[in-house]
Amino acid sequence: MRDLALVGPSEDGRYLITRDPASGARFRLRVDRRLATTVERSTRDSHRSPGQLEIPMESSLSPRDIQTRIRRGESVEQVAEAAGTSVEQILGFATPVIAEREHMVDQARSTSVRRKHVSGTPVALGALVDEALVGRGVTPEDAAWDAWRREDGRWTVQVVLPDGQAANFCFDHKSRYVLADDPTARDLVGDLASEDSLDMAIADAVRGSDDVAAEDVEDTEKIVVDHAPVHSLKEARDRRALGQFEVEEPAAESTDDEPAPAPRKKNARRSVPSWDEIMFGGKRGD
């Protein structure tokens, strides 16, 4: 960078004339409000070294664009870099939006969470998360909360745990409800299906299909259902394994007074127990 020497104002007073001491080339600088403001500001800042000027940087983003990007989750530093300006200039537009994001966090924390696998009285998000953190030996104040607006108008509320894990929740501030948005969030608020509940859901689905299966049986056949309860999918599988190893009992030996009964014939088409028989413990009649 070359230093220029000030020659003086132009004849019409609209420019400052400068000269390159090395080459003698002359340059002119238009005197406008921006230049006047810069010079005035530099004279007021006594802490600056002599001759040091603060040149305001023009932003490539409008104030509306700056606030939109901040509202959607970008940091002040990210927006300043995108705008090609300083953080200080972005803060003037970003501060009210940052306050809005903090307000949405407070609103979400006081809003009840809708949990699919948990019944009972609804509990607010903040209470659930704080209780879960204490249970893990984490101080609730050590978790970082943030919020930003989504494309659909709702808000994403994020909790970053001290170990770096992030839990995201969907907050509908108009309808006043919160939903866990990822596995970490569901784990944090206890909205995870247990293995037993999944097994019983499968068993219930199979049990509900029994009436439909019965309609497909031939009129000459009869279903005998044992209503022994099915407590888990494992129990159903165990019943099936035992059923596969069943064998016919040998016919009893005949006596002089009583003829030997004919051996029972099993239905070859149904030699392997059906799923209904597995679930309910019953066997098809002869």
Domain ranges of the chain: 5-44, 63-106, 110-188, 195-252+259-280
Angle formed by the axes of helices 63-71 and 76-83, to 10°?
140
Mean pLDDT, range 43-62, rounded to an integer? 55
Average pLDDT, the chain: 74
Mean pLDDT, range 197-223, rounded to an integer? 46
Backbone angles phi, psi at 15, to 5 degrees: -135, 155
Mean pLDDT, range 232-245, rounded to an integer? 59
Q: Which residue has the higher pLDDT, 134 or 193?
A: 134
The CA distances from residue 144 to 83, 100, 162, 186, in Å, are 27, 16, 8, 18
Secondary structure string (H, E, C) spanning the chain: CCCCEEEEECCCCCEEEEECCCCCCEEEEECCHHHHHHHHHHHHCCCCCCCCCCCCCCCCCCHHHHHHHHHCCCCHHHHHHHHCCCHHHHHHHHHHHHHHHHHHHHHHHCCEECCCCCCCCCCEHHHHHHHHHHHCCCCHHHCEEEEEECCCCCEEEEEECCCCCEEEEEEECCCCEEEECCHHHHHHCCCCCCHHHHHHHHHHHHHHCHHHHHCCCCCCCCECCCCCCCCCHHHHHHHHHHHCCCCCCCCCCCCCCCCCCCCCCCCHHHCCCCHHHHHHCCCECC
pLDDT at res. 148: 97
Q: What is the dihedral of CA 231, 236, 242, 248, to 10 degrees?
A: 100
Percent of the chain with pLDDT strictly greater than 70: 57
Would the pLDDT of 23 be above 50?
Answer: yes
Instruction: Report the C-alpha gap between 41 and 44 in whole angstroms.
Output: 5
Would the pLDDT of 205 be above 80?
Answer: no
Range ranked top by mean pLDDT from 30-39, 98-107, 214-223, 252-261: 98-107
pTM over 0.85: no
pLDDT at res. 11: 72
Would the pLDDT of 218 be above 70?
Answer: no
Would the pLDDT of 53 be above 80?
Answer: no
Mean pLDDT, range 216-239, rounded to an integer? 51
pLDDT tens digits along 93-152? 999 999 999 999 999 999 999 998 887 788 999 999 999 999 999 999 999 999 999 999
pLDDT tens digits along 56-97? 455 688 999 999 999 999 999 999 999 888 888 899 899 999
The confidence band for 236, taking pLDDT boundaries of 50, 70 and 90, is: low
